[in-house]
């Protein structure tokens, strides 16, 4: 059974001067326990797509299905990690982690117990009572990620979660995410700019065009699990990277040519 399915999603934003077409007939799916990435040029509507999946935005046309049930425009069905960590500055780290659980109606004691169990596992033991401002960017991302992970929703949508991190922290976080995901196998839809990141983490990748964006290609990643970082040195990995890069480079040239 398919967990998430988007069918023929179109999105345009009308304004006085002109209507901007952002998404043009996007169809994709995330199967049960699958790690799927979306990669596309900046401004191609990836965050917009997440807003539609999360029910924050009603698509101009098209349908969102969860487990085969139409849920277009319904909020609160997925776990969502936004592009920025979006922590509440006045809430302690553990209180930030339990937010999604609280919203879902899980008892505070129970939620706090889960947060306290997980925080040390992500290198944040001892920070439970601190406020977000004492944490580095990478640490804040981990708090935001834990919040999404502990939310009792089957599907996690992560919007460029590591985009703002330096290369080294980013590598650590990727390995860490992979490890946690391989233990839990939640369905994940992951947006990224980085071709390497998408190839390293995903089961499947959708490559989007410039806006009005369409799916240029759906690619099945041929590497097994558990994944090792060493696959990045594999010849096949490099070939696939170049293949996707070719697609995206054409998009950038096309954009500049307009
Ligand atoms: N509410 C809105 N009204 C008008 N235009 C919007 C709105 N939301 C997004 N857009 C436009 O949609 C395009 C895609 O934005 P976004 O989804 O953030 O792209 P990405 O996440 O792929 O970088 C941008 O050109 C942006 O200006
Ligand atoms: Mg975005």
Give residue-wise pLDDT tens across range 110-150: 999 999 999 998 889 999 999 999 999 888 988 998 899 89
pLDDT the model gives residue 246: 93
Residue 13 has pLDDT above 90, yes or no: yes
Q: Is the CB of 48 under 6 A from ligand 1?
A: yes
Task: Render pLDDT for 54-107 as a digit per residue (tens, 0 to 9).
Answer: 999 999 999 999 999 999 999 989 998 888 888 999 999 999 999 989 888 999
- Atom 6, ligand 1: residue with shortest CA distance: 13
Q: Are 78 and 153 in contact (CB under 8 A)?
A: yes
Q: Is the CB of 101 under 6 A from ligand 1?
A: no
Is 2-78+154-256 a domain of CATH 3.40.50.300? yes
User: Can you give 30-81 as a three-state secondary structure string?
Assistant: EECCCEEEEECCCCCCHHHHHHHHCCCCCCCEEEEEECCEECCCCCCCCEEE
Residue 1 has pLDDT above 70, yes or no: no
Q: Provide the greatest CA pair distance for the chain.
A: 57
Rounded CA-CA distance 38/20 in Å is: 21
Mean pLDDT (the chain) is 92
Residue 255 has pLDDT above 80, yes or no: no
Rounded CA-CA distance 180/174 in Å is: 10
Domain boundaries defined on the chain: 2-78+154-256, 86-152
């Amino acid at each position: 059974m398919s967990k998430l399915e988007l069918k023929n999603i179109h999105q345009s934003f009308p304004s006085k001067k002109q209507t901007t077409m952002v998404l043009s007939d996007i169809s994709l799916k995330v199967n049960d326990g699958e790690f799927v990435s979306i990669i596309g040029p900046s401004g191609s509507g990836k965050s917009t797509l997440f807003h539609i999946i999360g029910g924050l935005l009603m698509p101009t046309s098209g349908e969102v299905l969860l487990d085969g049930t139409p849920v277009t425009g319904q909020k609160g069905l997925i776990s969502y990690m936004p592009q920025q960590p979006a922590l509440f500055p006045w809430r302690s780290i553990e209180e930030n982690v339990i937010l999604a659980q609280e919203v879902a109606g899980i008892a505070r004691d129970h939620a706090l117990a889960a947060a306290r169990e997980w925080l040390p596992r992500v290198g944040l033991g001892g920070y439970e009572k601190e406020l977000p401002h004492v944490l580095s960017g990478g640490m804040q991302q981990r708090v935001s990620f834990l919040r999404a992970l502990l939310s009792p929703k089957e599907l996690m949508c992560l919007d460029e979660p590591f985009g703002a991190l330096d290369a080294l922290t980013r590598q650590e976080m990727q390995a860490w995410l992979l490890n946690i995901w391989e233990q839990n196998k939640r369905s994940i839809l992951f947006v990224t700019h980085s071709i390497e990141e998408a190839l390293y983490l995903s089961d499947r990748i959708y490559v989007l065009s410039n806006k009005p964006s369409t799916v240029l290609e759906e690619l099945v990643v041929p590497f097994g699990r558990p994944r090792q970082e060493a696959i990045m040195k594999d010849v096949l990995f490099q070939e696939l990277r170049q293949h996707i890069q070719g697609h995206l480079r054409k998009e950038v040239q096309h954009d500049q040519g307009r």
